[in-house]
């Protein structure tokens, strides 16, 4: 298990990053986009271009450049928590996680 610095965790969306399974996700890209639009777009850019509404929040199209997006699976299931006061805590169901990861992978 790798722990990121608190400041970087807020930027990267997590405190803890654990490698996920090597199996490809079979989720729905459209449903993953809907989840991102509902829960993430207030701070993160979910579009192909343009800045994030919150400058500290990385555009989701760049997450795969920072680390494997599959590493988000466990954190999404257990609840994303950061020291960043504006980052709400999220906990997703397995199907939601699969859909969100599938959509994030589609941005690579």
Mean pLDDT score of the chain, rounded to an integer? 76
CATH number of this structure's domain 2-106: 1.10.760
What is the C-alpha separation between 43 and 107, in angstroms, rounded?
Answer: 18
3 pLDDT tier (thresholds 50, 70, 90)? very low
Residue 14 has pLDDT above 70, yes or no: no
* pLDDT on residue 49: 94
* pLDDT on residue 47: 94
What is the number of helices (H) and of strands (E) in the chain?
5, 2
Q: Dihedral angle at the C-alpha atoms of 91, 15, 85, 55, nearest 10 degrees? A: -100
Domain ranges, ordered by start, for the chain = 2-106
Structure token pair of residue 13: 């969306």
- Mean pLDDT throughout 67-86? 76
74 pLDDT tier (thresholds 50, 70, 90)? confident
């Amino acid at each position: 298990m790798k722990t990121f610095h608190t400041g970087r965790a807020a930027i990267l969306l997590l405190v803890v990053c654990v490698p996920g399974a090597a199996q490809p996700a079979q989720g729905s890209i459209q449903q993953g986009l809907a989840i991102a639009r509902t829960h993430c777009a207030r701070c993160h850019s979910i579009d192909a271009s343009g800045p994030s509404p919150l400058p500290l929040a990385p555009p989701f199209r760049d997450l795969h450049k920072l680390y494997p997006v599959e590493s988000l699976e466990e954190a999404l299931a257990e609840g994303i928590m950061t020291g960043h006061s504006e980052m709400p805590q999220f906990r997703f169901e397995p199907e939601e996680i699969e859909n969100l990861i599938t959509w994030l992978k589609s941005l690579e």
